[in-house]
């Protein structure tokens, strides 16, 4: 009988500690304002959310609100903070600004030795680097569009996964449709987003990439 009681107490204690730990940031779940509300109202599954919104909302938002990349580049070079407030969007306080931009230029090369497959495009006097994969990383599109919020998901992990799912769409719906082997020297039109992580550098994740005749 004592053994049974001891096991019951141990199980109860373990359950109590687990519940308590779930409230400790960095242990199981990172909670933030709006998370509890999202969980109660039915938070989104990241993969389903992106599948439902990619072609109907995410791509059209970038297309309609993108600013000429040369204009944004000049503004950032002059005053990064002012440029961010005018053209960018922050996912949260202290986060880097993400910009939705568009442009047309000539492909000068692709570095296939790097996992992100950086493709350089010369747009007038502005050099733009576009990620072609196979690794597409970052949160530029998620943060740039302005409507994908932490409160849409259960926790920080799912919020981060939403960015991963967006980048997966970039690979399958944008990059996969372009013949990268023969693109050097050709002109391209592009839409996409980049995060101002390194001053003077534009590393774009594309939502549209079209080779022009």
Contact 37, 155 (CB under 8 A): no
Q: Mean pLDDT per segment of 10 residues, for the chain of length 213 residues?
A: 42 40 32 42 87 98 98 95 96 92 98 96 97 97 96 96 98 97 97 87 96 87
Asked, for residue 38, whether it belongs to a domain, the answer is: no
Residue 42, pLDDT score:
60
Same domain (yes/no): 19, 99: no
CA dihedral 189, 192, 195, 196 (to 10 degrees): 30
Same domain (yes/no): 3, 93: no
What single string gives the DSSP state of each residue in the chain?
-HHHHHHHHHHHHHHHHHHHHTTSTTTS----TTHHHHHHH-PPPHHHHHHHHIIIIIHHHHHHH-EEHHHHHHHHHH-HHHHHHHHEE-SSTTPPPEEEEEEEEEEEEE-TTSTT--EEEEETTEEEEE--SS---SSHHHHHHS---GGGSSSHHHHHHHHHHHHHHIIIIIGGGS-GGG-TT-EEEEEEEEE-SSTT--EEEEEEEEEE-
Residue 5, pLDDT score:
38
Residue 99, pLDDT score:
98
Same domain (yes/no): 133, 206: yes
> Angle between the 156-169 and 46-53 helix axes, to the nearest 10 degrees?
40
Asked, for residue 199, whether it belongs to a domain, the answer is: yes
Residue 79, pLDDT score:
94
Residue 41, pLDDT score:
54
The range of the structural domain enclosing residue 1 comes to: 1-30
Same domain (yes/no): 13, 111: no
Residue 161, pLDDT score:
97
Does the predicted TM-score (pTM) go above 0.95?
A: no
Residue 102, pLDDT score:
98
Same domain (yes/no): 19, 63: no
| Count of domains observed in the chain | 2
């Amino acid at each position: 009988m004592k053994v049974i009681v001891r096991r019951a107490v141990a199980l109860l204690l373990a359950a109590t500690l687990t519940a308590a730990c779930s409230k400790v940031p960095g242990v199981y779940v990172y909670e933030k304002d709006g998370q509890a509300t999202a969980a109660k109202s039915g938070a989104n599954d990241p993969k389903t959310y992106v599948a439902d919104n990619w072609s109907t909302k995410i791509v059209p938002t970038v297309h309609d609100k993108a600013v000429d990349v040369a204009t944004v580049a000049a503004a950032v070079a002059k005053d990064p903070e002012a440029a961010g407030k005018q053209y960018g969007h922050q996912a949260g306080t202290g986060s880097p600004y993400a910009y939705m931009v568009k442009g047309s230029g000539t492909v000068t090369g692709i570095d296939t030795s790097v996992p992100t497959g950086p493709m350089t495009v010369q747009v007038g006097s502005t050099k733009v680097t576009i990620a072609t994969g196979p690794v597409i990383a970052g949160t530029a599109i998620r943060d740039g569009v302005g409507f994908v919020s932490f409160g849409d998901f259960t926790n920080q992990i799912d919020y981060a996964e939403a960015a991963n799912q967006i980048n997966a769409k970039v690979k399958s719906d944008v990059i996969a449709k372009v013949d990268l082997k023969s693109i050097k020297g050709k002109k391209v039109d592009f839409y996409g987003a980049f995060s101002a992580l390194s001053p003077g550098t534009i590393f774009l994740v594309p939502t549209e990439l079209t080779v022009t005749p």
